Amino acid sequence: MNYSFFGTCANDYDQLFGCLKTILKQSIIPKEIILVNAGCVNIKKKILNIIQQKEIKFIYFEEKLSRVKSLNLAIKHSTSTYSFRFDTRSRFSKDYAKNALKILNDKFLNAYVVGGSPEVIPESKNFQSILCAEVMNRAYLFFYPKHRIKKYTGYSSSIYLGCFDTYYLKQIGFNEKKSLLSEDSLIINDFLERGLKSYISASIKVRYISRKSFMNILRLFNTYGYCRGNTILLSKKVFISYRHFFVFIIFVTVFLILVNISFYSIIFTPFVLFLLNFIGEILTTKSFKKYYVPLCGTLCQFAWIIGFLWSMLSIFNRKNIESNFIS
C-alpha cells in the first residue's frame, strides 16, 4: 500500500514547511513527496535537509505554472498506488495516511477518492485571525456541505484535498480547460461522472490554517462566488449536487416572497440571510456561541454573491472566465 503526497506552492514557504513536518510524522511514511514550486525561491535543498535520512523520494519542479497545471505535472510523476494531495496550509494527523489507505482498500465501500472534514485553526492568536477561523468553521455559512460538517462519515460530492487511486487520477486529471480555483469540486465531479465513488471519514483527521485577515476571507468568498459562476458557464452544469439545487430553490422562494410583498422588499435580503445564519449559530454551534460570527458570515456571503454576479457579467471576457484568481 504505497502512496505519494503531491502538491504545489507559490512563495508561501513558511506554511509549506509546517505542512511537510506533519507529512514526515505519518505513521506510514510516504514513498515519495512531489512538489511543484511556482514561486521565486529555490527551496529544494532546504526540503531535502528537512527530509534528511528518511527513505522518501523527493521529486521537485520549479516552474511558473497555474495551480491546476502544477497539480497535473505532479501527478504525472507519481509512481505510487495512491496519491494524496496536500495544500501548504494543511496539517495532517499522525494516522491521516493510515486511515485513508484503510478506506481506499475497503472493498465494501468501493471508494476511489477519500478525505476528511478539515478543522480550521487560526494562523495567529489575534482577534482577526481567530475570527477568520471561526467563519470558515461554520458549515451553515456554506449551506451545510458534507465536506464541511465535522465528524461526517459517508459518500460526498466534494472532498477537501483528496486521497486518490493514482491510476484513475492520472486518467482523469485536474481540468485545465476549466482552470478555476474550485478544482477540488470539479475533479470529484469528474470522478463521480465515471461511477467512481468519493467518501469522507471522520477518522481521516486534517486541519487547515485559515487566513489571518478578515479582508482576505472576504476576498476568498468573492473568489469562491466568481469561480462558481465560471464553473456554470464552462461546464453548462447549474447544479453539481442536490444541495446546490435545494439552496437555489430556497433563494428563489425567498426572492419571490419578498417581491410579492413589494419590489423594494428585496433590500431586506441581507436581514433574511443574517437571520438564517443567526439560527444556524444557535442550533449548530455546540461550543461557546459568538453572535458576531453570523454578521461577519453574512458579509462573506454577499462577497460571494458579488463574485458570482461578476462572473455572469464577464461572460464575454474569455480571459477572466479562465482565470484562477480575481485580478
- Average pLDDT of the residues of the chain: 84
| 320 — pLDDT class (breaks 50, 70, 90) | very low
| Residue 252, pLDDT above cutoff 90 | no
pLDDT score for 89: 92
Structural domain spans, the chain: 3-117+152-212, 216-321
Please write the tens of the pLDDT for every residue from 202-236: 999 999 999 888 999 999 898 888 877 776 766 66
pLDDT score for 283: 86
C-beta of residue 113 within 8 angstroms of C-beta of residue 200? no
Number of H helices and E strands in the chain, helices first, is 12, 11
CATH topology of domain 3-117+152-212: Spore Coat Polysaccharide Biosynthesis Protein SpsA; Chain A (3.90.550)
Please write the tens of the pLDDT for every residue from 121-158: 998 888 999 999 999 999 888 888 888 888 889 998 88
C-beta of residue 275 within 8 angstroms of C-beta of residue 291? no
Contacts of residue 13, Cβ cutoff 8 Å, sequence gap at least 6: 39, 41, 43
| Residue 240, pLDDT above cutoff 80 | no
Please write the tens of the pLDDT for every residue from 49-81: 888 867 899 999 998 888 888 999 999 999 999
pLDDT score for 286: 74
CA-based max dimension of the chain: 70
pLDDT score for 237: 65
CA distance 157 to 192: 8
| 111 — pLDDT class (breaks 50, 70, 90) | very high
CA distance 281 to 262: 29
Mean pLDDT on 293-317: 83
| Residue 112, pLDDT above cutoff 80 | yes
Please write the tens of the pLDDT for every residue from 167-193: 999 999 887 765 554 567 778 888 988
What share of the chain has pLDDT > 90, as a percent?
41
pLDDT score for 256: 73
Mean pLDDT on 293-309: 90
Mean pLDDT on 12-27: 92
Strand pairing partners for 119?
Answer: 207
Strand pairing partners for 7?
Answer: 35, 86
Higher pLDDT, 149 or 278: 278
Helices of type H across the chain:
13-24, 44-51, 67-76, 96-104, 127-137, 166-172, 183-193, 214-235, 242-261, 269-284, 292-313, 318-321
3-state secondary structure of 267: helix
| Residue 40, pLDDT above cutoff 60 | yes
pLDDT score for 324: 42
